[in-house]
Amino acid sequence: MTDHVGIDDIALATTGLVVDLGVLAQAHSVDPDKFYVGIGQSEMSIAGEDEDVVSLAAAAVQTIADRTDISGVRTLLLATETGVDQSKAAGVFVHGVLGLPPNVRVVELKQACYAGTAALMMARSLVCSDPSEKVLVVAVDVAKYDVGSGGEPTQGAGAVAMLITADPSILRIEPKTGVHTDDVMDFWRPNHRTTALVDGKFSIEAYMRSLEGAWTDYRAHDGFAYDDFDHFCYHQPFTKMANKAHAHLVALNGGDADKAEIAELMGPTQTYNRRIGNTYTASIYVGLLSLLETVPADLAGHRVGMFSYGSGSVGEFWSGTVVPGYQLHLDPELTATVLDGRKAIDHEAYLHLHDFALPIDGTSMKIDERAARNGFRLAGVDADRRQYERFEPTSAVLG
Ligand code: HMG
């Protein structure tokens, strides 16, 4: 048994296409500052016809494999709420297209945006019980709401892959966590729908209630006190949600922080999310990567409080400490290239992709349109069988 388990590598992938929220605001005759300032989003990553959670997850794992030895990985846990099959785990497609060895077990996990954290905690337990184990965790989603709905400007898509090992190079996960489950209908997506249903204002309330419950449980289980933390990172359905959540946590702890102080504290965790949009299960880990990659100061030894929320709802508060030398295992320039390399599309092209669907009658379709830039794409569907292919990433993504 070991307690020294955590994130040894972490990498982001997103789609090849992006919509500036100014374009959406213009199409809906809305003041763009409602999106840029009010909800704190500037762009949303949009999946092309040839992109889905499998292509995104494979790209994120490949980034890790390109710089860190993943031989010896025996488990791949893929968390998503936008899976591609009711039965076969998306991770098995990822296993296939990456050519991983057969002695890697694969499973898919679901509980709205919380499942990535469930996967991380399961990975941690596996490595705690046998420190020779290495686990790949992938949190990946394509967030889609109805056109014209309040959720539309919060859409996004992306994957975060993490390698979980003993003696990690980036973040050591601490043992205490606090959890909170509450059966509520704040956001959901019945099997027949491609877009989520949401009770927007109530979902914010449910998130806050979950934060309060998870924090209370964390403290009741000997978790650290508020003042023991250097940073906080929250699930970010839109970046302003983190500010609201943190103000709530401050108040719960009898503190008082003005909006500017909170905005300053949350800022480094929001740089990437602001440009990608909601990535559901991946969102909190996009926030963690943003914190680690965009703060110029050395964060070694700093404690980060993490609040993961998944509608429906399950929340978990946990913490980690940053490992000295973590910077050597990150690649902010690559992340910048991934974000800057996306192709901006107009409103018409976005609407086409919003409505795009694979055949549901068993007919075959070859996808000629190429949006993916990161080395993996959905090439088509043949008699209800998805066909994935690898290609040489475009130079923008290679950096
Ligand atoms: P809305 O009702 O269209 O927006 O949608 P609003 O009128 O509440 O305005 C939003 C903010 O913009 C407000 O600020 C306005 O004042 C401001 P706030 O009061 O919140 O501080 N505003 C402006 N600011 C500057 N200039 C302007 C301007 N106009 C307005 N001109 C809502 C907001 C979040 C409800 C909507 O986007 C939505 O339904 N989103 C989807 C649901 C969601 O993200 N919920 C969050 C909690 S649930 C969660 O996190 C789980 C989730 O990730 C799913 C999962 O778990 O799988 C969603």
Who's near 1: CB < 8 A, 6+ residues apart?
128, 129, 131
- Quick one: tokens of 184? 């509520």
Cβ–ligand 1 distance for 39 under 6 Å, the answer: yes
**DSSP bridge pairs for 234:** 307
CA-derived radius of gyration, the chain = 20
What is each CA distance from 296 to 7, 97, 324, 352, in whole angstroms?
20, 36, 14, 40
Burial class (CB in 10 A: 0-12, 13-18, 19+), 395: exposed
**249-300 residue pLDDT tens:** 999 999 988 999 999 999 999 999 999 999 999 999 999 999 999 999 999 9
Cβ–ligand 1 distance for 113 under 6 Å, the answer: yes
pLDDT at 397: 61
Paired sense of beta strands 73-79 and 134-143, if any: parallel
| 247 C-alpha to ligand 1 centroid (Å) | 16
Question: Which residue's C-alpha comes closest to atom 1 of ligand 1?
Answer: 150
The rounded distance, in Å, linking the Cα atoms of 306 and 162 is 16
Phi, psi of 34 (to 5 degrees): -60, -40
Atom index in ligand 1 nearest the CA of residue 112 equals 57
| Active-site annotation, residues | 81, 113, 235
| 239 C-alpha to ligand 1 centroid (Å) | 10
Residue type, 384: D
DSSP for 169-198, written as a single string: SSEEEEEEEEEEE----SEE--TT-SS-EE
The pTM of the full predicted model, rounded to 2 decimals, is 0.98
Within 13 Å of residue 331, how many CA atoms lie on the same side as its CB?
19
Burial class (CB in 10 A: 0-12, 13-18, 19+), 392: exposed
pLDDT at 394: 77
* Ranges of H-type helices in the chain: 21-27, 32-33, 53-67, 90-98, 115-129, 200-220, 239-252, 259-276, 283-294, 332-340, 347-355, 395-398
pLDDT at 3: 67
Question: Which residue's C-alpha comes closest to atom 14 of ligand 1?
Answer: 38
The rounded distance, in Å, linking the Cα atoms of 185 and 261 is 33
Low-confidence ranges of the chain (pLDDT < 50): 399
Cβ–ligand 1 distance for 32 under 6 Å, the answer: no
The rounded distance, in Å, linking the Cα atoms of 209 and 213 is 6
The rounded distance, in Å, linking the Cα atoms of 174 and 326 is 17
Cβ–ligand 1 distance for 238 under 6 Å, the answer: yes
Who's near 91: CB < 8 A, 6+ residues apart?
57, 76, 77, 78, 106, 107, 108, 138
* Ranges of H-type helices in 85-155: 90-98, 115-129
Q: How many CB atoms lie within 10 A of CB 250?
A: 17
**44-70 residue pLDDT tens:** 999 999 999 999 999 999 999 999 999
Cβ–ligand 1 distance for 40 under 6 Å, the answer: no
| 204 C-alpha to ligand 1 centroid (Å) | 8
pLDDT at 395: 63
Cβ–ligand 1 distance for 250 under 6 Å, the answer: no
| 39 C-alpha to ligand 1 centroid (Å) | 5
The rounded distance, in Å, linking the Cα atoms of 59 and 2 is 31
Who's near 165: CB < 8 A, 6+ residues apart?
5, 6, 8, 127, 133, 134, 135
| 260 C-alpha to ligand 1 centroid (Å) | 19
The rounded distance, in Å, linking the Cα atoms of 197 and 189 is 6
Atom index in ligand 1 nearest the CA of residue 311 equals 56
